[in-house]
Every structure is written in structure tokens, then in C-alpha cells.
Amino acid sequence: MGLGVAGNATRGGERTERRRNSVASGWKERDETMSVLSEEYCQAGASMSPVEEAVTARAPAVSSIRSEYRTAMPRWKRIMDVMGALFAAILLTPLMVCVAALIKVVSPGPVLYRQTRIGFRGRPFTCWKFRSMHVDNDASEHAAYVKDLIQSSDAPMVKLDMGRDPRLIPLGRLFRATAIDELPQLLCVLRGDMSLIGPRPCIPYEYEAYSEHHRRRLDAIPGLTGLWQVSGKNHTTFEEMVELDIEYSERKTIWLDLVILMMTPKTIFIQLKDIITSR
């Protein structure tokens, strides 16, 4: 019996050894095959697939953008944006419901207007506003007007709709003068595409007309209100707007943001007064 057990143990050990040798041989063959394929692949001048190249090329860019975004949106600013936007959304919900109902009554079409805007470092995002113009209006006149403002050195940035603009729906001028039409942009603030304080986000055809210097105004996260808005706005030139926005991006602090927020109601009142006196 002892001899039988010993014989079984010997045969078991031999089988284990054969399995080990087989596995080792398999790994060796695989390594040799992969080595040959790798050499052939390199000798043939093969490269990464387009998808792999795109991912590899994009990775540093994404990392860089995230780092730049954190610099442009420090933690104190993000906390203030989220808290301020939530508080404003809750407080102004009854007003927004009334505005939506008025738009439905005075003009056929959707209540909200969706538009692509250019934000931080030239990145496009979807911007929402209460619709203050008729549906399917022609934007070519506005595009030409904006380009003229950019090319002019001393023309004030008076809005095209300061006069009797036929594109506007009833109450549209009031919505725009009081910035009521921009209240849905609180959603953009919560999403992080915008901030409470920052440069005005521009339209794609406006961005295309910018020089490299002009594009520096978007080194800050775009905002609902900003240094330019409370420093004269429609009474300033395009170049003055650019310099004010660049100044904000370079020296933004929590105290500057608070000052701009406190000055914004006065700016809205002045805009409303300008529209009333222009009639």
C-alpha cells in the first residue's frame, strides 16, 4: 500500500511538472510571436490608429484646459457662483414664470431662446435666454453692425435695439434693458459654463472678427455681469470693453466681484433710463 501511494505521488508530480513546462513553453512561444509581429509592424512603418493619435494628441490639451479653468475659476468664485445662482433662481422663480407667460401671450413661438456663445478661451457653449425677438429673425444686420463696432476706434457700443427695432417682440426692449431676458443663464452658471461675474460671452461671428489681442478678453469665465458692464457699458467703445475685460481677468478677487455685484442694480437702472429717454 505504501508503494502504491508513493507511485501515485510520483506520477502526480510528473503530471504537474509537464503542465508547468507546457505553460512555460506557451508563454515563450507567445512572447516570440509578439516580438516578431512587433518587429514587422515597426519595419512596415505602421503608426497608431487615427483614434489613438487623436486621444494621445488631445490628452495634454484637456489637461491644460482643466488647469487653466481652475486658475480662471478659483474655489471661492465657484462657491459664490453656485450659492448665488441657486438663491437667485429660487427668489426669482415667480418672476420667471410671469415672464414666460407674457412671452407666450404676446408672441407665438418658444419661451426660451437657445444660442451658441463663445466662452472661456474660445470654447463654445449653449446659452439660454428668454426670447425677446420674433422667431426666425435675420441676424445678418446684427453681424454687420458688430463687425463695424469692432473695426471702429471711437464708436460707442450702443445696442442695435436701442431704437425701434422691428425684430423685438412687445415688451422685448424692457426684458433686455432690465436683463430679465438673461435670467435663464443662471443655469449656465450652475453648469460652470458661465460665472456671475465675468466678460460678456460673444457670438461666434463676433469671435471670428476678433484679433488675438481681442480674444484675451475671454481669458476669464464669461459672466452675467462684469467690470465692463458696470463701467459704462453702452457708452464705451469696443476697445475699452476689451481692456476692461482683460483687466478683470488679471486682477479678479472676491472683493472685486462683490463690488461689481453691488454696482449692477445701478447699471440696470441707467440702462432702463436710457431706453425711456431714447423714445
Q: Give 266's Cβ-side CA count (13 Å radius).
A: 9
Q: What pLDDT, on the 0 to 100 scale, is given for residue 128? A: 96
User: CB–CB of 242/181 below 8 Å?
Assistant: no
Q: What SS3 state is found at 139?
A: coil
How high is the mean pLDDT of the chain? Answer: 81
Contact 168/132 with Cβ under 8 angstroms? Answer: yes
Q: 184 near 111, Cβ under 8 Å? A: no
50 or 65, greater pLDDT: 65
Residue identified by cell 424692457 is 174
Contact 187, 96 (CB under 8 A): no
Report the alpha-carbon distance of residue 23 to residue 225 in Å, rounded: 69
State which amino acid sits at residue 276. I
Element (H, E) at 114: strand 112-118
pLDDT 10s digits, 181-199: 999 999 999 999 999 999 9
Grid cell for residue 86: 441657486
pLDDT at 40: 43
Residue indicated by cell numbers 459664490: 80
The average pLDDT across 115-122 equals 95
pTM comes to 0.74
Using one digit for the tens of pLDDT, what is the confidence trace for 161-180?
656 678 899 999 899 989 99
Check whether 150 has a pLDDT greater than 60: yes
Domain ranges for the chain: 2-46, 73-277
Strand partners, 130: 112
The stretch 210-235 carries a mean pLDDT of 94
* Residues 113 and 203: beta-carbon distance below 8 Å: no
Helix (H, G, I), strand (E, B) or coil at 112: strand
* pLDDT computed for residue 65 by the predictor: 63
* Strand 223-225 with 195-197, pairing: parallel
pLDDT value of residue 14: 58
How sure is the predictor about 25, in pLDDT bands with cuts at 50, 70 and 90? low
